[in-house]
Amino acid sequence: MCEGGNIQFFCHNGFRLAFQESGQGDPVLLIHGFASSIFMNWIASDWFKILVDAGYKVIAIDNRGHGHSTKSYDPRAYTLELMASDAIALLRYLGIKKAHIMGYSMGAKIAAVMALHMPTMVHSAVFGGLGIGMLTEVGDRKVIAEALLAEDPITIINPLGLLFRKFADNTKSDRKALAACIMVSKKELKIDEMHGIMQPVLVAVGEKDTIAGEAQPLAALLEHGEVLVIPNRNHVLAVGDRIYKKGVLEFFRRYSM
């Protein structure tokens, strides 16, 4: 058992997907980033505990290919739409009709797709660790995939590829599954899709995050977009930052259900 409670599983679309839940109150669904997991993104950073202590029912999912969920080596299994459908299926499995959604990095893209495709289930959203990068290519997918599959990381020259490889090694991830995932999940969303998101959205990006892109240009495309710049934090360190946590709690309180 960990701070978020016991790992549970449900099945959807041929995948056995891991999730954790704890607390009572308005539901908040947490969706982690690429190469991460419930534990790395939300428990080790104390997000799970902080949200539960603030009076929320907190649910977190291990995306397909990550954590304790089923792995696939077929890139076609990792579209944003399919991963968003997993998250929606989890809410339905738990009998939750509407929730706050917080995604980080890749999880922010999944949250955006949820807001577009199933708007009645998304009360508000936090796009953490992803600003205008939601709409632009960040790094060469093929290079990152090659770095993930390299036999010896010492041979990796590309800095971004090496960053993702080190993170995947640290999280003891299935690198073959991640290589398949990144080829599809890094798909960019479009400007008109951002215009179609009607829910309140907080775009939260670290000041020194070179992966996310700036928060303001993305928020400006949203009907009800707000910006939180997390001072002196990069893509990795912004996740558990206290200013990020304070800003999200204030955002959820303003848009309580």
pLDDT for the residue numbered 141: 84
pLDDT for the residue numbered 138: 61
pLDDT for the residue numbered 110: 97
Phi/psi at 22 (5° precision)? -165, 155
Q: What band does 5 get if pLDDT is binned at 50, 70 and 90?
A: low
Are the C-beta atoms of residues 51 and 58 closer than 8 Å to each other? yes
Spacing of C-alpha 240 from chain mean position: 14
Q: What band does 2 get if pLDDT is binned at 50, 70 and 90?
A: very low
H helix intervals, the chain:
38, 47-53, 80-93, 106-117, 141-149, 159-170, 175-185, 191-195, 215-221, 242-254
CB atoms inside a 10 Å sphere around CB 223: 12
Phi/psi at 68 (5° precision)? -95, 5
End-to-end, the C-alpha distance of the chain in Å comes to 30
C-alpha to C-alpha distance for 8 and 6, rounded to whole angstroms: 6
CB atoms inside a 10 Å sphere around CB 114: 28
Q: What band does 1 get if pLDDT is binned at 50, 70 and 90?
A: very low
Residue-wise pLDDT tens digits, 187-244: 789 999 999 999 999 999 999 999 999 999 999 999 999 999 999 999 999 999 999 9
Concatenated DSSP letters of 210-245: TTT--HHHHHHHSTEEEEEEETT--TTTTTT-HHHH
Question: Considering the entire predicted model, what is its pTM?
Answer: 0.94
Are the C-beta atoms of residues 209 and 132 closer than 8 Å to each other? no
C-alpha to C-alpha distance for 32 and 221, rounded to whole angstroms: 23
Work out the percent of the chain whose per-residue pLDDT is above 70. 97
Q: What is the mean pLDDT of residues 46-55?
A: 97
